[in-house]
Structure 1
Amino acid sequence: MKTTETDLHELRTALPGLPCGEEGPVFNAPWEAQAFAMTLALHAGGAFTWKEWAHMLHEAIRDAQSAGDPDHGDTYYAHWLTALERIATAKGLVSKGGLIQRRDEWDAAARRTPHGRPIELG
């Protein structure tokens, strides 16, 4: 899926805190880009509006800050992922049990993967 200039404008309007450079969003790790891409794909598929997404992301950030997140800017996509999980669950796209199972599978795969190698689910 290719992100258009209109998509980026709408997203930047809804999320003024989105880490962006001149050409678009900036990511520190591949998983951040993947979470971002999943969010764009779900939005493009009509799963939620940008207003709904912005509200869910705001709640995830607020909850993290209430729990002691110092908000140095390095946890933005962790909050993004929390919001993605929450909105996908709220919209019935995935179950909470399904999320827990997938996390456990990723954790097990990461533990058996040598450092520097891609993590692969069985």
Structure 2
Amino acid sequence: RCLVIFFQDINADACARELITLTKQSEIVLVQTKSYKIDETSAERMFGGNRTYIPLVTKGPVIGLEFAGENCISICQQSLHNLLTTKYQNLPHFISQSPADARAQLDKFYNFASMQMFA
């Protein structure tokens, strides 16, 4: 599993759509997507205290994509890298770096999204 998050940006939707299109050409699948606003406290928990993402979440809703399949992290990283270097330079994003991290990140991201729906 792999979590990709796009932070508020004029090109976030377009890049997310292109990433989905690119991954359809591989063996991985898009499991689910969510878009919602994250507060600073939740962002700290979600990103393990890494404050780099705090200013990004305050700009507006984020887009989260969950992918699954063999080598999905490396496939997502490669596809996103290609998009960022050719078309969407400086687009604020987050992507899982390891399977163990991805599991925890996905749980936090989607559990928080579920809690937001009932708040």
TM-score using structure 2 length: 0.30
Larger relative contact order, structure 1 or 2 (CA cutoff 8 Å, min sep 6): 2
Larger Rg: 1
Greater helix proportion = 1
Greater strand proportion = 2
